[in-house]
Structures are given as C-alpha cells and as structure tokens.
Amino acid sequence: MALFTLENLYFKSRNQEIIRGVNLEIEKGSVVGLTGKSGGGKSTLLKLIAGILVPSSGKVLYEGVDIQSMNNIKNKEFRRKCAFVFQDSALWANQDIQQNLNLPLQTHNPDMTYSQRLERIHEICSIVKYDRSLQLRPADLSMGEQKRIAFARALINNPEVLFLDECTESLDRKGVEVIMSLLNSFVNEGKTVIYVSHSSVFITSLAGKVLVIEEGQLSE
C-alpha cells in the first residue's frame, strides 16, 4: 500500500479552482518533488497532502485511511509522524526558541520531564547547528537561523515524513549545507520527503521523482 494516495483531489477557494483533479501515489521512503511556476498550486497541494488544508472534494489517504476521517488518536499520531517546514518558517513570534521547540515536544510526549525535554532541545539544536541562546525570540534571529529552527521543530519528534515548502529559500550557504546533509540522512533512514522547490540545485541534489504542477494539475 502506498504511504499517501491522492484520489481525484480538488481544492477551491473563493470560487477559484486551485487544485484540479490530482491523482497520485507516494511510496514510503520515497522523495517526491513538486515544481512549477509560481501560483501553480504547489504550496496548496503540499498542504492538502499534509492535512493542513481540507480538500473541496476527493481524498488524501495516509496508509489507506482518509486523513479527514481519522479519529483524534489517529490524527495526533499522523501529526507526529508528518512534520512540515513552512516557507516563511512560521515560528511563534511571541515565544522564545526554547518554547518554540518545547511545544511540539510537550504535545506529543507528555510523559517527558522538563530536563529530558531540554536535553532533546539541545540535541536537535546541535543537529541543525544552532548555537545561540535558547532565550532569543524568532525576530532576533537571521532568516537562515529561523529556517534551521523551523527544521529543528519539525524534526524534534522524529517524524517519518517531512513536508518542505521552498525550504532552502532565504538560507545562506552554511544553512544549505546543514539542511542538505540532514535531509540526506533522513532519506537514508528510509523516511519520506515531499518538497516544493524552485531551486534546480536543490532538486538535483535530492534524488527522487519530480512532478510539475501547472494550473492545479500534475504532469511528470
């Protein structure tokens, strides 16, 4: 069974059809890229697969189960396993870095103690090579640092699937190197990456299937 199955997926907003009849299977352990012109529907499709947006019609199945029909327990497990790195990082502006990383950890691991969580936060910060204070807020960080913290937040609960929307945009060279090596080891562990990118360097360095989306429809 495919990890994700998209069945005749449509998404409409303000009477505009943004996604128009997408069918797709994504296998566990694969790397799938979505590319295409700006405004073509890449981000919308990525968010539909991740369950962040709700389709107007059609279905997204995760391990054969419609995301929209999952009960609370299954939905929470789905959300732990599938992590999203947003194009604009989308960190919580009124929380410091420690709080930004603590929140998903606490949500999914209520039994962890404060010191266990802090240890995991330090560990994930070292993986993304963030060595500044945990008491800074997102606005105190460069865009590249914010993006690395967004990765840390996505990876903190050991997800099975990573969704990436233009994740190397606004990254400096150091950031790109850190993220690429991190993604390569993620894929080598047999995990799944579904990404949107304009960058041909990014697309060629992450092997995998690349799909083009134009006016809400897929072509290979």
Ligand X SMILES: Nc1ncnc2c1ncn2[C@@H]1O[C@H](COP(=O)(O)OP(=O)(O)O)[C@@H](O)[C@H]1O
CB-nearer residue toward ligand X: 39 or 190: 39
Binding to ligand X (CB under 6 A) within 42-61 occurs at 42-44
Rounded CA gap, 141 and 47, in Å? 26
18 touching ligand X, by CB under 6 A: yes
Rounded CA gap, 211 and 19, in Å? 14
Rounded CA gap, 165 and 12, in Å? 20
CB-nearer residue toward ligand X: 10 or 28: 10
Strand order in the sheet with 31-35: 82-85, 161-165, 192-196, 31-35, 209-214, 217-219
CB-nearer residue toward ligand X: 87 or 99: 87
Rounded CA gap, 159 and 150, in Å? 14
219 touching ligand X, by CB under 6 A: no
38 touching ligand X, by CB under 6 A: yes
**At its nearest, how many Å lie between ligand X and the CB of residue 88?**
12
CB 101 within 8 A of CB 152: yes
CB-nearer residue toward Mg ion: 85 or 125: 85
**CB neighbours of 75 closer than 8 A, spacing ≥ 6?**
51, 67
**At its nearest, how many Å lie between ligand X and the CB of residue 117?**
34
5, 30, 35, 43: residue in contact with Mg ion (rule CB under 5 A) = 43
Interface residue list for ligand X (CB under 6 A): 13-14, 16, 18, 38-44
Interface residue list for Mg ion (CB under 5 A): 42-43
